Structure 1
Amino acid sequence: MSARLAGLLPGELNERQTEVYRAIAGGRRASGPQAFSLADEEGRLRGPFNAMLLSPPVGLAVQAVGAAVRYESVLTDRVREMAILVVAAAWDSAFEREAHEAVGRTCGLTEPELDTLREGGLPESADPAERTALRATAALTRTGALSDQEYDDTVAAWGERGLFELTTLVGYYSLLALQLRVFAGEQPAERPVEHPTPPSESGTS
């Protein structure tokens, strides 16, 4: 499915939209080596960022949450990128997967780890704190909640701040995946329909 929302060129933006554009394309995301491009060759924002220009007040706030999650969190770079890829797998978001696999490689994620995350699994990390964060992320994407044990384990590993930032990460990247579906035309891969097993002719279950 093609994008529903046309990309806007920098010269087509009004003053408030330009503020959002500069915050995204000229902020922390644009500093240092670029693992993936934020804009196309003509300057149109890519992926979920283009839609943020539709409502500058909301778009500016949303991009600020994303910048805080990526650059001001107590979560390690590896945990952050693995958690994002867990969300990408849950939503089957090709853009998030492509972008954050590229970032993940710069953070030391191995190809076997990326393969596992791409398939919806969790890598067998040697770091107990990493395993705890990924189990919590998987639970949040699967059920939208944590058990008491998952809550206690994650707080023990990352503190209440870390858990808050992890839940914010899950919510933020789920929001981006939703916006990608609505505005960029990104659709999940079709999966075969599983038909329930019919009851036996004897009537027993």
Structure 2
Amino acid sequence: MSTRLPSLAPADLDDAQAALYDRIAGGPRAAGPQHFALTEPSGALRGPFNAFLLAPDLGDALQELGSRLRYRGGLPDRSREIVILLVARHWQSTFEREAHEGVGRAAGLMEDELEALRRGRLDPFEGEEATIARLTLALLDGDLDDSDWNDAASSIGEAAVFEVSTLVGYYGMLALQLRVFRAG
């Protein structure tokens, strides 16, 4: 897929773009083991992050929300990655699937579980992970009926339902931006 945006190399950025680049490339996504490449060989940001540089104030708010969801959310890492990978599958987001399969492996997802998520199957998951996966699929269909709400709220709690719905919305937005800008 060809991109609609040029890769914005660090040397070509204005001050606001450079400050945002530094927050993304030097923040928690770049700390610790790398499960996917955050930059291209030229130094340009990959995936949705290159587009964030188009509007640095908005891009900063988006990257901060993503960072909080990934590094300061309340869901267990495996559960968070199940949500993200189901969103990536739903929206056929190649970049998010590839990036978060690596993160998912590091969080403990096994190859058979990753394959099940690629196919939209939930059979390998039990307990809270199964509830979170079912919740995610319902949200991807656009809403929760009362039965789904009652099951999720009583099983994982209202705060976790809020976090899952936020993850679904955030990664759905990234999938849209990746499609619009032909960035993966």
- TM-score of the aligned structures, taking structure 1 as reference length: 0.86
Q: Say whether residues 1:104 and 2:104 are aligned partners.
A: yes
Partner of 2:139: 140
Partner of 1:75: 75
Distance in structure 1 (CA, Å) of the matches to 2:76 and 2:151: 17
Consecutive unaligned residues of structure 2, counting only runs of 5 or more, are: none
Q: Say whether residues 1:93 and 2:93 are aligned partners.
A: yes
Partner of 1:175: 173
| One-letter identity of the residue aligned with 1:97 | R
Distance in structure 1 (CA, Å) of the matches to 2:122 and 2:181: 29
Distance in structure 2 (CA, Å) of the matches to 1:56 and 1:41: 22
Partner of 1:30: 30
Please give the root-mean-square deviation of Cα atoms over the aligned residues, in Å. 1.1
Structure number, greater radius of gyration: 1
Partner of 1:199: none
Q: Contact 1:81–1:104 (CA<8 Å) still a contact in 2?
A: yes
Partner of 1:155: 153
Measured after TM superposition, the shift of residue 11 of structure 1 is: 1.1
Q: Contact 2:36–2:102 (CA<8 Å) still a contact in 1?
A: yes
Q: Contact 2:5–2:51 (CA<8 Å) still a contact in 1?
A: yes
Q: Matched residues, percent identical?
A: 52
Partner of 1:119: 119
Consecutive unaligned residues of structure 1, counting only runs of 5 or more, are: 187-205
Partner of 1:5: 5
Q: Say whether residues 1:62 and 2:62 are aligned partners.
A: yes
Measured after TM superposition, the shift of residue 68 of structure 1 is: 0.8
Deviation string for 1:94-113 (max 9, x for gaps)?
A: 11110001111111101111
- TM-score of the aligned structures, taking structure 2 as reference length: 0.96
Partner of 1:131: 130
Judge which range, 153-162 or 132-141, deviates more. 153-162
Distance in structure 1 (CA, Å) of the matches to 2:113 and 2:175: 22
Task: Give the number of aligned pairs.
Answer: 184
| One-letter identity of the residue aligned with 2:29 | R
Distance in structure 1 (CA, Å) of the matches to 2:9 and 2:128: 43
